[in-house]
Amino acid sequence: MRNSSLTLVWSGDTSALIQAGIITSHKAERLNLVIRPLPSQRAALKCLLPVPNCRCSFLFHFLSRDSLLVLLFLCLLLKTCEPKTANAFRPNILLIMADDLGIGDLGCYGNNTLRTPNIDQLAEEGVRLTQHLAAAPLCTPSRAAFLTGRHSFRSGMEASNGYRALQWNAGSGGLPENETTFARILQQRGYATGLIGKWHQGVNCASRGDHCHHPLNHGFDYFYGMPFTLTNDCDPGRPPEVDAALRAQLWGYTQFLALGILTVAAGKTCGFISVSGRVVTGMACVLFLFFISWYSSFGFVRRWNCILMRNHDVTEQPMVLEKTASLMLKEAVSYIERHKHGPFLLFLSLLHVHIPLVTTSAFLGKSQHGLYGDNVEEMDWLIGKSRYHRSSLHPRPQV
């Protein structure tokens, strides 16, 4: 009975072959190896196609002796013959980030008063980092460093004044277009890349809608979430947070001017002050314009900043905080399902546990640490749901 054999035709750089002792002449530009595999070994040859950095073709014909070991030795020894399309080496990646969570608030780091079983299980099955410190204590610079692997001051995302984090969706600041994120690197390697949750790296540059700082311009091909961040202004029942000191100062100026105008009007009415009605009217108009000039921004912070977007489109303005957690979970599960055949990167950037600590009724009052503890335990539940769905997908390995 005649066994099939295989001829490997190698064209290109042969320096690695010389180092391996397969050939001896550096002038060789083409090499023919005759290999005869056993029937049980033929299926293994499929993993060797195609081969990067060298041009290899395979021809089946009938010759003598088995030389499969030569081919296996060659492809195991030479880095230039690693399979280019070996999907097994491109795992799906689910990256989960919490917001303003303390290391001492998790059970896997010693806390026995908050229930975080899902995060604890992740830690038990993986690696716990004890010296992995954030690059900055605030949202914008720390996330810029996380996305790029560079200190935030190198990308211009660090400031020395009071505005160390982006304050407005409408601002022109943001992560520069020339910065390389880990999402862009994976995207260039054939990954589907999604971001669900918080961005806080800017949106526009010169005009509304140019979206130069948008996630889709930084290596992500799908985005659903907040382009900004949660603040107390997103909750109508909370005191204002964005530029609270400046807002209070402007409101004080408004009251002072209004009191002055009322004093002039009262003095004119009582005859204590001789001033024309046009002057009083003009002063009232100035006061109104001054009030509108600042209140049009600070009075509608919730509408301008607290929005949800899907890619380039606004889906909620303002966002309904009570629904946000379920929407994020639904989007994460949907993204994993759509890309279950991978490879994909999903960056799940949670809004938990940033103020105003919006928590659904199912978790309110359940922890020993008030609203913050309730929010932490709800976050753990969200992570458990995402992790459970991730684990239910078997076509590709998960990370």
- Is 70 exceeded by the pLDDT of residue 68? no
Handedness of CA 362, 364, 365, 371 (dihedral sign): positive
Contact 149, 174 (CB under 8 A): no
Rama region for 218: left / alpha / beta (φ>0; ψ in -120 to 50; rest): alpha
Cα separation, 202 vs 140, in Å, equals 9
Phi and psi at 31, nearest 5°, equal -135, 130
Cα separation, 40 vs 66, in Å, equals 12
Q: Which 3 state secondary structure label does DSSP give 200?
A: coil
Cα separation, 229 vs 134, in Å, equals 18
Tens-place pLDDT, residues 114-126: 999 999 999 999 8
Amino acid at 367: S
The answer to whether residue 214 is catalytic is: no
Task: pLDDT band for 56, please (50, 70, 90 cuts).
Answer: very low
Tens-place pLDDT, residues 152-179: 989 988 877 767 788 888 888 899 999 9
Confidence at residue 189, expressed as pLDDT on a 0 to 100 scale: 94
Choose the catalytic residue: 81, 200, 213, 234. Answer: 200
Angle between helical axes of 370-391 and 117-125 (0-180°, round to 10): 50
**Residue 101 CB neighbours (<10 A):** 19
The residue assigned the tokens 């009191």 is 259
Task: pLDDT band for 21, please (50, 70, 90 cuts).
Answer: low
Choose the catalytic residue: 75, 139, 234, 306. Answer: 139
Cα separation, 180 vs 184, in Å, equals 6
Confidence at residue 33, expressed as pLDDT on a 0 to 100 scale: 46
Contact 139, 130 (CB under 8 A): no
Q: Which residues of 189-224 are buried (b: 16+ CB within 10 A; e: fewer)?
A: eebbbbbbbbbbbbbbbeeeeebbbbbebbbbbbbb
Tell me the average pLDDT across 55-73.
38
Confidence at residue 18, expressed as pLDDT on a 0 to 100 scale: 53
Tell me the average pLDDT across 197-207.
92
- Is 50 exceeded by the pLDDT of residue 192? yes
- Is 80 exceeded by the pLDDT of residue 45? no
Q: Which 3 state secondary structure label does DSSP give 27?
A: coil
Q: Among 62-66, 180-184, 272-276, which stretch is predicted with the lowest mean pLDDT?
A: 62-66
Quick one: what percent of the chain has pLDDT higher than 90? 49
Pairing type for strands 192-198 and 93-97 reads unpaired
- Token couple for 392: 């239910």
Task: pLDDT band for 88, please (50, 70, 90 cuts).
Answer: low
Task: Answer with the residue of higher pLDDT: 261 or 240.
Answer: 261
> What is the length of the chain?
399
Q: What is the CA radius of gyration of the chain?
A: 31
This model's pTM is above 0.75: no
Confidence at residue 354, expressed as pLDDT on a 0 to 100 scale: 94
Mean pLDDT of the chain: 79
Tens-place pLDDT, residues 24-39: 554 444 444 444 444 5
- Is 90 exceeded by the pLDDT of residue 389? no
The answer to whether residue 369 is catalytic is: no
**CATH number assigned to the domain with residue range 93-230+306-391, chosen from the 4 options 3.40.720.10, 2.70.170.10, 3.40.50.300, 3.50.50.60:** 3.40.720.10
Of the candidates 27, 25, 32, the residue with the CA atom closest to the CA atom of residue 56:
32
Quick one: what percent of the chain has pLDDT higher than 70? 75
Q: From edge to edge, which strands make up the β-sheet containing 222-226?
A: 93-97, 344-349, 192-198, 222-226, 308-310, 313-316
Cα separation, 323 vs 236, in Å, equals 15
Confidence at residue 79, expressed as pLDDT on a 0 to 100 scale: 44
Confidence at residue 164, expressed as pLDDT on a 0 to 100 scale: 78
Domain-wise residue ranges, the chain: 4-85, 93-230+306-391, 244-294
Confidence at residue 19, expressed as pLDDT on a 0 to 100 scale: 55
Tell me the average pLDDT across 6-19.
48
